């Protein structure tokens, strides 16, 4: 089968798979507390359907799959999904992004099933702030989840942090100190215009330059060479091998080296978080007039269609930019 190469020569090797749009938190930059526009249950891909799409993707050169959401650990069959992806021929490297709430019970089974690595999101070290930021009093569960990920050996454990002005933007150095002490790889992500509540505002977002400047007053940061297709700019800290990452999605776009495609939980392929087009594979999977082999051929063709439609960049900084119709939680972060 053909590789997934777009018209700008970028070869796609990374597939982000959203397992659900549901979530156990309501991070203000992602989902309003009263959010209710959920994807209907019947539209969510079944485990078998997911596996078919991922297998076709792997045959076309995808070698890393990141499970995400919404909150991927809310999917009742999460351990089975990991186990089956890890058991594929030419199994991709398998990672997962989670809010960590269910890791206390799931970290060990996930590691055993074949999960290679994990990203856990945490925006503050204050229990009170966590409650304000997420509308849920679950700070302790995240900390227990982080400990469980360590005990399960899911290294390197990356911690994702979004800073919001006037809420937690004074915590960057303290978060880094905490991460270093606990051997977590911290990455700050610029807030993007992808929230369901439409609260993003360029004028108030905390920029990569501001984060760098703040950290630099406390730490000596040395750029790490060889970023490749990684979203994060990494820096060595105080001359050690420990690093911190800054993902400047808005102010320092990294689209030129992007190798990511996305599959939503309702079976739509996307070439970019910010694209306004989706290519339907659920329809193919549920087409009663096609046998398995014909479905796989058509799904492969739809991957090619998706990759060919990919634009050179996300265009957030163009005056004509229109935010995608679906929020991050439905697309898969």
Cβ-contact 176, 161 below 8 angstroms: no
**Smallest distance, ligand SAM to C-beta of residue 225, A:** 25
Cβ-contact 68, 330 below 8 angstroms: no
Q: Interface with ligand SAM includes 189 (CB under 6 A)?
A: yes
B/e letters for 275-298, b = 16+ CB within 10 Å, e = fewer, are: beebbebbebbeeeeeeeeebbeb
State the DSSP code for 245. E
**Smallest distance, ligand SAM to C-beta of residue 211, A:** 13
Of the listed pieces 4-12, 192-200, 276-284, 287-295, which binds ligand SAM according to CB under 6 A? Answer: 192-200
Q: Is 27 annotated as a binding residue?
A: yes
Kindly tell me which residue out of 44, 57, 70, 94 binds ligand SF4, with binding defined by CB under 6 A.
Answer: 70
**Smallest distance, ligand SAM to C-beta of residue 71, A:** 4
**Token representation of residue 75:** 């999917």
Q: Which of 65, 80, 151, 162 is nearest to 113 (CA)?
A: 80
Q: Interface with ligand SF4 includes 99 (CB under 6 A)?
A: yes
Cβ-proximal residues to 203 (8 Å cutoff; 6+ apart), any chain: none
Q: Is 261 annotated as a binding residue?
A: yes
Task: Give, in order, the Cα–Cα distances in Å from 205 to each of 42, 100, 305.
Answer: 37, 25, 34
194, 228, 96, 199 alpha-carbon torsion, rounded to 10°: -10
Picked from ligand SF4, ligand SAM, none, the partner binding residue 141 (CB below 5 to 8 A depending on kind) is none
Q: Interface with ligand SAM includes 29 (CB under 6 A)?
A: yes
Q: Interface with ligand SAM includes 39 (CB under 6 A)?
A: no
Site size with ligand SF4, rule: CB under 6 A: 12
**Smallest distance, ligand SAM to C-beta of residue 327, A:** 8
**Smallest distance, ligand SAM to C-beta of residue 88, A:** 23
Exposed / middle / buried, residue 173 (Cβ in 10 Å: 0-12, 13-18, 19+)? middle
Q: Interface with ligand SAM includes 333 (CB under 6 A)?
A: yes
Cβ-contact 18, 264 below 8 angstroms: yes
State the DSSP code for 219. S
Q: Interface with ligand SAM includes 233 (CB under 6 A)?
A: no
For the window 108-147, what string marks contact with ligand SAM as x by the rule CB under 6 A?
Answer: -------------x--------------------------
Binding-site entries for S-adenosyl-L-methionine: 29, 70, 121, 192
């Amino acid at each position: 089968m053909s590789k997934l190469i777009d018209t700008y020569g970028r070869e796609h090797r990374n597939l982000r798979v959203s397992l659900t749009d549901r979530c156990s938190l309501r991070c203000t930059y992602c989902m309003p507390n009263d959010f209710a526009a959920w994807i209907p249950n019947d539209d969510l891909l079944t485990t078998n359907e997911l596996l078919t799409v991922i297998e076709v993707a792997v045959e076309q050169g995808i070698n890393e799959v990141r499970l995400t959401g919404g909150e991927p650990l809310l999917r009742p069959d999460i351990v089975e999904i990991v186990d089956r992806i890890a058991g594929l021929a030419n199994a991709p490297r398998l990672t997962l992004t989670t809010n960590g709430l269910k890791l206390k019970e799931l970290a060990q089974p996930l590691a055993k099933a074949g999960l290679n690595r994990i990203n856990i999101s945490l925006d503050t070290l204050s229990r009170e702030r966590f409650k304000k930021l997420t509308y849920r009093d679950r700070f302790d569960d995240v900390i227990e989840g982080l400990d469980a990920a360590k005990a399960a050996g899911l290294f390197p454990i990356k911690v994702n942090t979004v800073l919001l002005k006037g809420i937690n933007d004074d915590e960057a150095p303290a978060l880094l100190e905490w991460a270093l002490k606990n051997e977590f790889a911290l990455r700050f992500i610029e807030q993007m215009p992808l929230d369901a509540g439409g609260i993003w505002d360029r004028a108030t977002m905390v920029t990569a330059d501001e984060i760098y400047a703040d950290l630099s007053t406390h730490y000596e940061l040395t750029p790490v060479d060889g970023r490749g297709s990684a979203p994060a700019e990494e820096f060595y800290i105080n001359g050690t091998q420990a690093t911190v990452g800054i993902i400047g999605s808005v102010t320092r776009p990294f689209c030129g080296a992007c190798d990511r495609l996305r599959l939503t939980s309702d079976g739509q392929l996307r070439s970019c978080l910010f694209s306004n087009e989706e290519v339907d594979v659920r329809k193919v999977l549920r087409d009663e007039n096609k046998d398995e082999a014909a479905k796989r051929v058509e799904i492969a063709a739809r991957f090619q269609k998706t990759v060919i439609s990919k634009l050179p960049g996300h265009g957030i900084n163009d005056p004509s930019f229109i935010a995608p119709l679906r929020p991050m939680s439905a697309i898969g972060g």
